[in-house]
A and B are shown apart, each in its own frame.
Chain A
Amino acid sequence: TQLLEQSPQFLSIQEGENLTVYCNSSSVFSSLQWYRQEPGEGPVLLVTVVTGGEVKKLKRLTFQFGDARKDSSLHITAAQPGDTGLYLCAAYGSSNTGKLIFGQGTTLQVKP
């Protein structure tokens, strides 16, 4: 069974701090996605990383795909209260059925 393990599970920080969320697996993936979910809403796709070592930036968010395509990280610079939410990494399983597997998620709370 392919698993995506995220850490930390919970993070509570003050506005302006930096943070990193990790997504690890023992499996190799062709691509990996990051989603953010706000309370009462569905997950929203933030980014897809495809190439090993790839770095993508989305304003204050920096996403990196590991060289071996087994892991990924999300770094937020100068976190804002609007960054509060559940961050999920996801990747397609090997069965070629289009099944997207999710990590357990990281709940981020940014206090003003």
Chain B
Amino acid sequence: DTAVSQTPKYLVTQMGNDKSIKCEQNLGHDTMYWYKQDSKKFLKIMFSYNNKELIINETVPNRFSPKSPDKAHLNLHINSLELGDSAVYFCASSQIQGTGGYTFGSGTRLTVV
């Protein structure tokens, strides 16, 4: 039973398209996150939600819009995809904001062509 699950695992799409990535956690955690891992493997936070409330919104283009319908789900919608959006996107969750470790999903590899 996967703790943090993301779909899809792979996403190949053309420039200009709109796409969504879904994330669900069954750990009962209050906080969920989206991270982007670039080609050099650097992990950078994009957004975090605590119990459906947006807490962190890093300097991310407004083409990226997170949505949290409930505390177990955090989706990421990307409009007008660009080549530079190609990366691996990770969803994560933690029990309490600001403490403890994160549990990560297995990632979504987005390739924009």
Contact = CB atoms under 8 A, between A and B. Distances in A.
Interface of A: 33, 35, 37, 40-45, 48, 86, 88, 92, 96-102, 104-105, 107
Contacts, number: 60
B101 interface: yes
Interface in B32-72: 33, 40-45, 48, 50, 55-56
- Bin the interface of chain B by size: 20 to 34
Contact of B40 (A88, A96, A104): A104
A35 to B, nearest CB: 8
Interface string B90-101: 101010011111
19 contacts: A40-B106, A41-B106, A41-B107, A42-B90, A42-B104, A42-B106, A42-B107, A45-B101, A48-B100, A97-B48, A97-B55, A97-B56, A97-B98, A98-B31, A98-B99, A102-B42, A102-B44, A104-B41, A105-B42
Taking chain B's interface residues, is the majority helix, strand, or loop, or is none over half, making it mixed?
strand
Max chain B Cβ within 10 angstroms of own Cβ: one of A41, A99, A107: A99
Given A88-B43, A102-B43, A104-B42, A97 B97 contact: yes
Given A43-B43, A107-B41, 13 more contacts: A33-B101, A35-B101, A42-B4, A42-B92, A42-B106, A45-B102, A48-B101, A96-B98, A97-B48, A98-B99, A99-B48, A102-B42, A102-B43
